[in-house]
Amino acid sequence: MHPEVAAYVLGVLDDADLQAFERHLDSCERCQRELKELQDVPDLLDDLKLQPSASEDDDPPISMSR
């Protein structure tokens, strides 16, 4: 995966890198496919932020217990 694809999707590229990546994206089918695959990630991350976290009283999942 091209590292700039994830940075682009998350909106963390600075102006110069954003412009350079968008020029690259115009001609790179691989990055276009990767972008399509990752386009929902920001919304999924936002949804996770809204979910309540486990309280300290909750038992950890079995896979995390010793």
Residue 31 pLDDT > 90: yes
Domain containing 3 equals 1-41
Does 22 fall in a domain? yes
At residue 45's C-alpha, the angle toward residues 18 and 12, to 5°, is: 20
Identify the burial level of 65 via C-beta atoms within 10 angstroms of its C-beta, where 0-12 means exposed, 13-18 middle and 19 or more buried: exposed
Does 23 fall in a domain? yes
| pLDDT, position 41 | 77
Does 47 fall in a domain? no
Number of domains in the chain: 1
Q: What is the pTM of this model?
A: 0.63
Does 56 fall in a domain? no
Does 17 fall in a domain? yes
Does 66 fall in a domain? no
pLDDT digits (tens, 9 = 90+) for 35-60: 998 888 776 777 777 777 666 556 66
Does 8 fall in a domain? yes
How many CA within 13 A on the CB side of residue 31? Answer: 16
Mean pLDDT of the chain, nearest integer: 83
